[in-house]
Amino acid sequence: FFQKTLTAVKNWFTLFGWPNGQNAISIPYSLRRDVSKGYLTASQEKIFKENLGKDTKTLYDMLFHLSGQLLPGMTSGQLLPLDPVERMLQLHRQHSTLLTFLRNQGAYLPHVMPEFLLEPDDYKKWIKVQTELLVEDTFTDKRILVLEDSIFETMSKRAWTDVLLQIYKVFVLPRVSSVSNTDLCSLEGVQNMPRIKLEPLSSNIYSPYERTILTWLNKHYEKNRKTIWKDCQKGEVPPMRWIVNFEHDLLDGLVLAAQLAAYCPYLIATHFVRMYTNPRSPEQLLHNCLIVVDAMHAVKLSIDIKV
């Protein structure tokens, strides 16, 4: 599950996270590496300044593109100190500022420490510096969590993935419009279903924007299910359902097919009539999902979808 989440995050930010088109990323490797490229020799510094912004895109470029804001205290093209330890400490401060900035925007990142976002060698330098400080301070009972190399890489990958997910949550999902929420439940069938509350404190799992999307899914599924599958080849019209999550309720592909049909009705005759409307086996679920993926490819959705 985590690997699928990581792949989805990587694909979205590669396609849509950057100014001036696509920019391939790897999590955590390219994100860590690119923010560390300010570590230059004196002879390289002039060349770097001349080419700044032409080839290298960092997390801060992504953040400015999605939010319109620079991190407090950060300037475009800011260089890092040449001294390795000072450079590591500056990166740690930048990562700490990033996490504070995201938390102030509503991100939930209590488990992510700034050191988890460092390169492995910088993390070792940070551990060494912190250990020396503890030795000098004989009155402290503070402890340092020292991770082995393989565990650190796992932790770093998870931390960077969660940072990107929270960036998506606080800067992309809020663009989902709630102006027409009253219209989403105007259908007779939807009126008879329990409502998904959009108030901020009505769920400790989904944000108001995610619940708006769930309402949108319910609307189009109920509106289109009888139209799409009235002449289906593999069953009867699927029954009414209440869509309350993004995992189990989307597994059979029918809800996603209903969304596509709402905007691309010509896909009904070519694709969706061949779906199982009451799938009971893994093979039938796979059959439905393959049809949905094929339909997405047919309308040229530029997303790398795999079943």
User: Would you write out the chain's pLDDT as a tens digit for each of its 307 residues?
Assistant: 888 889 999 999 999 988 888 889 899 898 888 887 754 433 434 444 444 444 567 888 888 889 888 888 776 556 777 888 998 998 999 999 999 999 988 888 888 999 999 999 999 999 999 888 877 766 666 777 788 989 999 999 999 999 999 999 999 888 866 555 445 455 445 555 556 666 555 566 777 778 888 888 888 898 888 889 987 877 788 888 888 888 888 999 999 999 999 989 999 999 999 999 999 899 999 999 999 999 988 887 756 666 5
DSSP code string of 228-275: HTTT-SBSSPPPP-----SSGGGTTSHHHHHHHHHH-TTHHHHTGGGS
Residue type, 31: L
Question: What is the number of other CB atoms lying within 10 angstroms of the CB of residue 128?
Answer: 12
As to burial, measured by CB atoms within 10 angstroms (0-12 exposed, 13-18 middle, 19+ buried), residue 43 is exposed
Q: How far apart are CA 122 and CA 159, in angstroms?
A: 16
Give the per-residue pLDDT at 194.
57
This prediction has a pTM of 0.60
Pairwise CA distance, residues 300 & 122, whole Å = 42
pLDDT of residue 201: 56
The pLDDT of residue 203 is 65
Q: Is the peptide bond before 81 cis (omega within 30 degrees of 0)?
A: no
> Distance between CA atoms of 5 and 21, rounded to whole angstroms?
22
Q: What count of Cα atoms within 13 Å lies in the side-chain half-sphere of residue 266?
A: 3
Please report which helix (H) or strand (E) contains residue 31, including its range: helix 29-35
Residue with tokens 């390219």: 30
Distance of CA 104 to the CA centre of its chain: 18
Predicted pLDDT at 177: 65
Domain ranges of the chain: 1-175, 208-299
pLDDT at residue 193, rounded to an integer: 57
- Give the pLDDT confidence score for residue 76 in this predicted structure: 55
CA distance 258 to 268: 9
Report the half-sphere exposure of 133 (CA within 13 A, side-chain side): 11
The percent of the chain in helix, strand and coil, each rounded to the nearest 5, is 60, 0, 40
Encoded amino acid at 171, one letter: F
Handedness of CA 210, 215, 216, 217 (dihedral sign): positive
Secondary structure of 87-145 as H, E, C letters:
HHHHHHHHHHHHHHHHHHCCCCCCCCCHHHHCCHHHHHHHHHHHHHHHHHCCCCCCCCC
Check residue 50 and give its pLDDT. Answer: 45
Q: State whether the Cα torsion 106-112-118-122 is positive or negative.
A: positive
